[in-house]
Chain A
Amino acid sequence: MATVTNWIDHLSAEEVVGAVYPGAGSSETLLVIIGVVFWIGWHVLTARSESEKLARLARKRHGANDHKSNITDW
């Protein structure tokens, strides 16, 4: 996985290779796919939990000033 194993050899080469991250040249597309899945997955998970939370709270039908009884610090 290591792209660089010896800095002296790397920097003294006739043409220094710029990309030095692990898996350079072979893993980028896979990383992008994983990243996109992670991003879309976040939306799916949070949308579901938000909908549940909003529906639960709406069912309780609190009044406009009910939240004041929850204020703990004065």
Chain B
Amino acid sequence: MTDQLGALTVIFTEFYYWVTVVLMFLIHVGFCMYEVGASRYKHHQHTLMKNTMVIPLVTVTWFFFGWWIYWAFPTGPGIAPSIMNESAALITDESTFSAKWYLANSEFMAVNLGDHISGVFWAAFLLFSWTAASIVSGAIIERITTFAFGILAIAIGSFFWVIDAAWGWHFDGWMLKILGYHDAYASGVIHAIAGGFALGVLIVLGPRIGKFSSSGEPRNIGPRNPWLVTVGLFLIYTGFWGFYAACNIPIFDLGPEYGMEGVTYWTATNIYVTPTTLSGITYNFLMSLSGGLLAGYVVAKGDPFWTYSSGLAGIICASAGNDLYHPIQAMLIGAIGVVIAYKMHYWVERKFKIDDAVGAVAVHGYAGVAGLIICGFVLNGYPSSGYSVGAMWDGSTYASINPLGQFLGAIIMFGVLGMLPGYVIARILNAFGKLRIPRDVEIAGLDYEIMEDDREAEKAVASSTR
């Protein structure tokens, strides 16, 4: 960097993403607190460690192959040609946005004086990956082995969600081009897929012992520490705010990018490189949070566990279009999403005997799917990409946002890349006897031996003070 203004732009962008990464770390802190608060005393430490291990497992696999997938797969492969090289193959050529630069042995995946952005951008996406895995973690507490969860976390965090991000979030993604898919803050790309994946696992894993009576009536196993759950969800809200900022490009000149001769237009953009403002999405984040909280308080009759979760579900439902919605639209959409998620949770629980311990499938999955479909109607006709202005480099044109495209997108996110792989991998783990802990351990508590050791240690300490 030799000119000061250019250097300032680059360093600002680098610092911007770095701040979002630190903020998003709070999502994981929140998830850990939330899960421990929702679990029973005898499972606390196992629950905490299971979710904590998401951090190293998804991080190293994200480094080894996850980040490469995001850059390699936007074309499908084989579904729609890239606007960069006009090929429908994996993007592994020499172009600027090629996956080649993000192989684990690339010199850009390290300290590199010529690249200030790759590491912070990699980290921002990595934090999204932790979230995807952590969403699944909550639903399956108190009965899954750490080994099985590790495999499932890697599958959703470093593989399946990245494929959907390449398809539906990358500016060159085939879902934008063919379906007109729009999901600016990830109703589907992270939440619907993770919710669907959790549901697929839950079908195989089964409920916690005692969750259903012999006649099939569900019993409430409520949060054991509502205060920990409360603080956890506040932290998730905070981190989610950072996530919104992380989904934007903070400063970008759209004139040359769109091929507008002689036009300069500096702005923040969403992940699709279409203009939005950090200010505008701040309105919508808070209004959709509020819509969710208000609706949740009503449908859950003031129950704090569901009211807090509803705030999150409200944001998730509005997220697909929160780059463009009016704040009151965001509020109403958030409220609608919460009602759908809450009702669906209890219907599925009774009908199919699914024990989703923290309501993750509802809050992330059903609210995410609802958000995608609603977005298709509210933003019907908007361009899914700035590149749809005129012909693309390969001669085709991006589809505009439409209800059918969003509906198909929701099926792909929740069902094809979420629920189906979750179910299949869980079946394989189950076939090897590696999915669920033994019944006697579930009854005794996963922390039994740790607690027993603590008791002995305490006795020894007490005897030495006599």
B444 touches A18 (CB 8 A): no
B147 interfacial by beta-carbon distance below 8 Å: yes
Collect the chain B residues with CB atoms within 8 Å of residue A67's CB.
41-42, 444-445, 447-448, 451
Collect the chain B residues with CB atoms within 8 Å of residue A53's CB.
449
Collect the chain A residues with CB atoms within 8 Å of residue B439's CB.
58
A28 touches B107 (CB 8 A): yes
* Most chain B CB within a 10 A radius of its CB, from A16, A18, A46, A55: A18
B455 touches A19 (CB 8 A): no
Using an 8 Å CB-CB cutoff, how does the interface string of A56-74 with B read, 1 for contact, 0 for none? 1111111110110111100
A39 touches B64 (CB 8 A): yes
- A36, B63: Cα distance in complex, Å: 10
Collect the chain A residues with CB atoms within 8 Å of residue B61's CB.
39
B348 interfacial by beta-carbon distance below 8 Å: no
Collect the chain B residues with CB atoms within 8 Å of residue A31's CB.
105
B448 touches A63 (CB 8 A): no
Quote the shortest CB–CB distance from A22 to chain B (angstroms).
10
- A23, B451: Cα distance in complex, Å: 47
CB within 8 A of B440: which of A17, A28, A62? A62
A18 touches B451 (CB 8 A): no
B113 touches A57 (CB 8 A): no
CB within 8 A of A16: which of B113, B440, B452, B458? B113
Q: List 30 A-B contacts (CB under 8 A).
A: A16-B114, A18-B114, A20-B111, A21-B111, A24-B107, A28-B110, A29-B105, A31-B105, A32-B104, A35-B63, A35-B64, A36-B64, A39-B57, A39-B60, A39-B61, A46-B146, A50-B145, A53-B449, A57-B438, A58-B438, A61-B444, A62-B440, A63-B443, A63-B444, A66-B444, A66-B448, A67-B42, A70-B454, A71-B41, A72-B455
Interface residues of A (CB under 8 A from B): 16-21, 24-25, 28-29, 31-32, 35-36, 39, 43, 46-47, 50-51, 53-64, 66-67, 69-72
A64 touches B449 (CB 8 A): no
Number of interface residues of B (CB under 8 A): 39
Quote the shortest CB–CB distance from B208 to chain A (angstroms).
12
Interface majority SS (helix, strand, loop, mixed), chain B: helix
Using an 8 Å CB-CB cutoff, how does the interface string of B69-107 with A read, 1 for contact, 0 for none? 000000000000000000000000000000000001111
CB within 8 A of B146: which of A28, A50, A62, A69? A50
Quote the shortest CB–CB distance from B130 to chain A (angstroms).
16
Known: A43-B147, A50-B146, A70-B455. A62 touches B443 (CB 8 A): yes
- A47, B398: Cα distance in complex, Å: 47
B440 touches A19 (CB 8 A): no
Using an 8 Å CB-CB cutoff, how does the interface string of B26-62 with A read, 1 for contact, 0 for none? 0000000000000001100000000000000100110
Residue of A nearest to B437 (CB): A54
Collect the chain A residues with CB atoms within 8 Å of residue B150's CB.
43, 46
* Most chain B CB within a 10 A radius of its CB, from A16, A32, A70: A70
B260 interfacial by beta-carbon distance below 8 Å: no
- A59, B449: Cα distance in complex, Å: 13
A28 touches B112 (CB 8 A): no
B428 interfacial by beta-carbon distance below 8 Å: no
B303 interfacial by beta-carbon distance below 8 Å: no
Quote the shortest CB–CB distance from A1 to chain B (angstroms).
14
- A53, B449: Cα distance in complex, Å: 9
B298 interfacial by beta-carbon distance below 8 Å: no
CB within 8 A of A71: which of B110, B147, B451? B451
Known: A18-B112, A28-B107, A29-B105. A64 touches B147 (CB 8 A): no
Known: A64-B443, A67-B444, A70-B448. A54 touches B455 (CB 8 A): no
Inter-chain pairs besides A19-B113, A54-B441, 5 sampled, C-beta below 8 Å: A46-B147, A47-B434, A57-B440, A58-B440, A66-B444
Quote the shortest CB–CB distance from B280 to chain A (angstroms).
36
B394 interfacial by beta-carbon distance below 8 Å: no
- A25, B455: Cα distance in complex, Å: 54
Quote the shortest CB–CB distance from A46 to chain B (angstroms).
7
B217 interfacial by beta-carbon distance below 8 Å: no
- Closest 3 A-B residue pairs measured CB to CB? A18-B114, A62-B444, A70-B451
